[in-house]
Amino acid sequence: MHEPEPALKKAMNLLKELSEDEEFRQQYEARQKFLRDQVSMKEGAREEGIKEGETESKRKIAMNMLNLGLDQETIVKATGLTSTEVKAIQQEK
């Protein structure tokens, strides 16, 4: 019989340690939870950054459309901004 692959052997050893040592298992699970939480926070921050960028782009487009003299209703339809948001941009001009 041949020797298992190194990664498989490492996983088998870890499984053996986890099943034999309750404290080690709890530490391992806590570490795994921490790593999952980190990934989740990074993903959330990335999505928030994308949304902020999209909103800023819409605001710039709305400003350009206002400068071209387009009406508010057209700008709302074209950008997806609310009429309140377009009014606020108009007042910033």
Whether 1 shows a pLDDT value over 70: the answer reads no
Structural domain contains residue 1: no
Domain count, the chain: 1
Is residue 78 within 8 A of residue 65, CB to CB? The reply is yes
Structural domain contains residue 26: yes
pLDDT tens by residue, 13-70? 878 877 787 888 788 889 999 999 999 999 999 999 999 999 999 999 999 999 999 9
Query: What is the rounded distance in angstroms from the CA atom of residue 29 to the CA atom of residue 37?
Result: 12
Determine the structural domain holding residue 50 and report its residue range.
6-92
Query: What is the rounded distance in angstroms from the CA atom of residue 66 to the CA atom of residue 73?
Result: 11
Structural domain contains residue 74: yes
Structural domain contains residue 59: yes
Structural domain contains residue 20: yes
